Amino acid sequence: MPKPVKFYNWIIRNAVILDGSGGSEYRADVGIIDNRIACIGDLDGRECESTIDAQGLCLAPGFIDVHTHDDIHLLNNPEMLSKISQGVSTVIVGNCGISASPVSLNGPPPDPMNLLGNEHDFVFPRMRDYAAAINRVQPSVNVAALVGHTSLRANHMNQLDRPANQGEILAMREDLALALVDGALGLSSGLSYESAINAPADELLSLAKELTKSGAIYTTHLRSEFEGILDAMKEAFTLGKESDIPVVISHFKCAGVANWGRTLETIPLLQQAASKQEVACDCYPYAASSSTLDLKQVTDDFDIFITWSDPHAEMAGKMLADIASEWNLSLLSAAKKLRPAGAVYHSMDEADVRRVLQYTDCMIGSDGLPGDPHPHPRLWGTFPRVLGHYSRDMKILNLPEAIRKMTGLQRLNLGSNNEALLLRGIMPT
Ligand SMILES: [Zn+2]
Q: How far is the CA of 195 from the centre of ligand 1 (A)?
A: 13
| Cβ(146)–Cβ(219) below 8 Å | yes
CATH number belonging to domain 8-59: 2.30.40.10
Counts for the chain of helices (H) and strands (E), in that order: 13, 16
Strand 48-53 relative to strand 341-345, pairing: unpaired
Q: How far is the CA of 134 from the centre of ligand 1 (A)?
A: 23
| Cβ(381)–Cβ(319) below 8 Å | no
Angle 344-369-187 from CA coordinates, rounded to 5°: 110
Low-confidence ranges of the chain (pLDDT < 50): 418-429
Which residues are within 8 A (CB) of 268 and not within 5 positions of it... i.e. 6 or more apart? Answer: none
Q: For residue 297, give the 3-state DSSP assignment.
A: helix
Angle 386-223-348 from CA coordinates, rounded to 5°: 40
Strand 36-41 relative to strand 247-249, pairing: unpaired
Q: How far is the CA of 199 from the centre of ligand 1 (A)?
A: 16
Q: How far is the CA of 48 from the centre of ligand 1 (A)?
A: 46
Q: How far is the CA of 59 from the centre of ligand 1 (A)?
A: 31
Q: How far is the CA of 288 from the centre of ligand 1 (A)?
A: 13
Q: How far is the CA of 221 from the centre of ligand 1 (A)?
A: 5
Helices (H), 275-425: 320-327, 331-338, 350-358, 378-384, 399-404
| Fold (CATH) for 63-287+349-414 | TIM Barrel (3.20.20)
Domain residue ranges of the chain, discontinuous segments joined by +: 8-59, 63-287+349-414, 288-347
Q: How far is the CA of 189 from the centre of ligand 1 (A)?
A: 8
Buried residues in 358-367 as b, exposed as e (16+ CB within 10 A): ebebbbbbbb
Q: Supply the mean pLDDT for the chain.
A: 93
CATH among 3.30.530.20, 3.90.1150.10, 3.40.50.2000, 3.30.1490.130 for 288-347: 3.30.1490.130
pLDDT tens digits along 153-205: 999 999 999 999 999 999 999 999 999 999 899 999 999 999 999 999 999 99
Q: How far is the CA of 95 from the centre of ligand 1 (A)?
A: 7
Q: Write down the pLDDT at residue 190.
A: 98
Q: Do domains 63-287+349-414 and 288-347 have the same CATH topology?
A: no
Q: How far is the CA of 261 from the centre of ligand 1 (A)?
A: 21
pLDDT tens digits along 200-209: 999 999 999 9
Q: How far is the CA of 39 from the centre of ligand 1 (A)?
A: 39
Q: How far is the CA of 364 from the centre of ligand 1 (A)?
A: 14
Q: How far is the CA of 191 from the centre of ligand 1 (A)?
A: 9
Q: How far is the CA of 289 from the centre of ligand 1 (A)?
A: 9
Beta bridge partners of 309: 341
| Cβ(44)–Cβ(3) below 8 Å | no
Q: For residue 389, give the 3-state DSSP assignment.
A: helix
Q: How far is the CA of 240 from the centre of ligand 1 (A)?
A: 19
Q: How far apart are CA 244 and CA 208, in angstroms?
A: 9
Give, as one character, the DSSP assignment of residue 395. -
Q: How far is the CA of 222 from the centre of ligand 1 (A)?
A: 8
Q: How far apart are CA 306 and CA 300, in angstroms?
A: 14
| Cβ(408)–Cβ(21) below 8 Å | yes
Q: Write down the pLDDT at residue 4.
A: 53
- Evaluated on CA atoms 251, 256, 260, 266, the torsion sign reads negative
Q: How far apart are CA 96 and CA 112, in angstroms?
A: 9
Q: How far is the CA of 111 from the centre of ligand 1 (A)?
A: 12
Radius of gyration of the chain (CA): 22
Q: How far is the CA of 51 from the centre of ligand 1 (A)?
A: 42
- Model-level pTM greater than 0.85? yes
> In the 3-class helix/strand/coil scheme, how is 17-57 assigned residue by residue?
ECCCCCCCCEEEEEEEECCEEEEEECCCCCCEEEEEECCCC
Q: How far is the CA of 130 from the centre of ligand 1 (A)?
A: 21
Residue closest to 307 by CA, chosen among 114, 132, 70, 32: 114
Q: How far is the CA of 251 from the centre of ligand 1 (A)?
A: 7
